[in-house]
Amino acid sequence: MNIGRREFLKSLAFVGAIATMGFSGCVSTQEHTPDPTPTITQKPTPVATPTPVSSTPMHTPNTKPRSTQTLLLAPDFNLTDAISGDNIKLSDYRGKVVLLDFFSTECGACITSIHDDLLPLHEQYGKRMKFLSIHIREPEVTVNYLDFFAKEWDIKWPILIGSNSQIQQIYNVKVVPTIYIIDDTGVIRYLHLGSSHTQTPGFDVLKVVIDSLLV
C-alpha cells in the first residue's frame, strides 16, 4: 500500500531528526522548468517492521526498538548518467547497499562533502556497495560540464542528471548536500544533511551506519 507525500515527509522528518548535528550545507531552491528526461517511477511505500528508522546508527545500545515504526522504501527513479549516458534506475541496485547523494556544483558544502566524505567512503566501501550522486538545482549545467566535474574531482561513480523539481520534492531535498543510505532491500536507513568531514562525528556516523548494513 502506498502512502501520501505528507506522510512520507513526516517520516523523513523523523529519519533526519538529529542528522543535522554539525550541519553545513546550501539551501536548495526548487526549479520550475523540469527536465523532460528524468522520471520518478515509484511512490514511497511503507514496510512494516520492528526495526526503527533512525538518523543514529542501527543496532547500537542507544537505539530502542519501536515496534510501531514503519520503514520507507526509497522511491525508484530513472535518470541519465552524465558520464556514461546510460539510464540508471535505483531499483537496478536492489540487493546492494546504496549511498544516494544530492548535490549541486555551485555549492561549496557539496564540494567539501565530495572531497572529505564521499571520496574516502568510496575508497573504503566502493567495491561492496553502490554510490550514486544526483545533480540538482542548476538546469543550465551541461552534460559536458558534469563530465568535466567528475574528472576534476576523480569521481568514479555515476552522476545522474536530476535538475528538475520532481525528484527534489519526492525526496524532500531542502538543502544540499543531502545523503541517503539505502539498504539492500531498498529501505531508507539514514538521512544525512550537509557536509561533514573525517574529523567530525557526522563522518563517523556515516561509517557506522554503512558498516552495520554490510555485515
- What DSSP assignment string belongs to 67-80? TT-EEEEPPPEEEE
85 CB burial (10 A radius; 0-12, 13-18, 19+): exposed
Q: What is the pLDDT of residue 201?
A: 62
Would you tell me how many other CB atoms lie within 10 Å of the CB of residue 48? 9
State CA 183 to chain mean position distance: 12
Contacts 24+ apart (CB under 8 A), 120-128: 120/198, 120/203, 121/206, 121/207, 121/210, 122/156, 122/157, 124/207, 125/210, 125/214, 126/156, 126/157, 128/97, 128/214
Write the single-letter amino acid at 35. D
Rounded distance, CA 9 to CA 44, Å? 10
Q: What is the pLDDT of residue 68?
A: 43
Mean confidence (pLDDT) of the chain: 76
State CA 107 to chain mean position distance: 16
Kindly give, in sequence order, each residue whose CB lies less than 8 Å from that of residue 2, ignoring residues fewer than 6 positions away: 43, 44, 45
Q: What is the pLDDT of residue 69?
A: 53
Rounded distance, CA 48 to CA 193, Å? 25
Which residue numbers in the chain have pLDDT < 70? 1-25, 27-70, 164-165, 195-201
Please answer whether residues 170 and 9 qualify as being in contact, where contact means their C-beta atoms are separated by less than 8 angstroms: no
pTM of the model: 0.72
Domains along the chain with CATH numbers:
5-214 (3.40.30.10)
Would you tell me how many other CB atoms lie within 10 Å of the CB of residue 104? 20
Sheet with 178-182, strands from edge to edge, namely 159-161, 130-135, 98-103, 178-182, 188-193
With H, G, I as helix, E, B as strand and everything else as coil, classify residue 204. Answer: helix
In 54-194, which ranges are continuous DSSP H helix? 108-113, 119-125, 143-152, 165-170
Please answer whether residues 181 and 203 qualify as being in contact, where contact means their C-beta atoms are separated by less than 8 angstroms: no
Q: What is the pLDDT of residue 139?
A: 85
